[in-house]
Amino acid sequence: MSRYRGYGADGLLPASALAILLALASAGCQPGEGSPASGGISSSPAARTASVPAPAGARTYAAFCGSPPGCPGGGVPAALRRPMHLPHLAAGTRCPISPPARKVDPNEGAALGPGPIYLVSLFSHTAVMPFVQPSRTGLFGGSSWGGQVLKWIGAPSYHGPVLVRGRKLTGRDGLGFGAGKIPLAEMDVPPFGAHMNPGGWQLWAGYARLRSPGCYGLQVDGTTFSEVIIFRACLSSPPTQQTGRCKSA
């Protein structure tokens, strides 16, 4: 069973499903030859779908950890809802991805971001995310949103609440969370809401939900920090399978 706590269809992620996804992800990723290098908007089938519901909901800890007594009521403090400071990029602009992943805890994989909350790079040491499109009977079935696993670690120096939001930097397509048919608009993680490894690092996981390749940003806010992680998303090859490879342009 995975040690990482996370989101499911309407919030909580079934441990069995997350374990399968993390196992598949551990195979490693090397972006395919000819994979997109910029943040341009894709003409993929998912991106062409009309009248797609935007990410909505969340704003409560219950979407992350369920109901009491194991989960506190309410959501992150209002002070964490700082203005978004993700950049806006023109279509075709090269994606200014975050610096390469590095080891910040010997018990976990290489991680992206300045910290104290880090995004574990599942596929490579670069900030590239091959994402899958919805399959009719499999992952994200019935949704217009594709996605990929997000795996987070938090430094022992911080145990406060965490708010994660994001968007595409080169177009109107949004960025959501969770495994539901309509993604959640944000991740609200309560204080001490994650599992911990032997070194005292917090561990949690879920899904990023997106509809087209390009350049995306995540803003992670806590009581003492606000950080940005920028990654490039590419379609998995093949698009509905977790291969960890980018589809060629």
- pLDDT above 70 for 100: yes
**By C-alpha distance, which of 147, 167, 130 is closest to 31?**
130
**By C-alpha distance, which of 137, 116, 110 is closest to 202?**
116
Least confident span in 6-10, 28-32, 235-239 = 28-32
- pLDDT above 80 for 242: no
- What mean pLDDT, rounded, does the chain reach? 81
What would the pLDDT profile of 215-231 be if each residue is shown by its tens digit? 999 999 999 999 999 99
Percentage of the chain modeled with pLDDT above 90:
52
Q: Which has more confidence, 246 or 50?
A: 246
Q: What is the mean pLDDT of residues 220-249?
A: 87
Q: What distances in angstroms separate CA 122 from CA 28, 102, 196, one per listed residue?
A: 7, 12, 19
With cut-offs at 50, 70 and 90, classify the pLDDT of residue 2. low
Q: Which has more confidence, 2 or 76?
A: 76
Query: Using CA atoms, how far apart are residues 49 and 162, in angstroms rounded to an integer?
Result: 32
What would the pLDDT profile of 120-165 be if each residue is shown by its tens digit? 977 778 999 999 998 877 788 889 999 999 999 999 999 899 999 9
Helix (H) / strand (E) containing 219:
strand 214-221
User: Residue 214 in contact with residue 170, Cβ under 8 Å?
Assistant: yes
Least confident span in 41-45, 117-121, 215-219 = 41-45
pLDDT at 39: 35
Would you give the end-to-end CA distance of the chain in angstroms? 36
Q: What is the mean pLDDT of residues 6-14?
A: 48
pLDDT at 43: 39
In DSSP terms, which residues pair with 236 in a beta bridge? Answer: 246
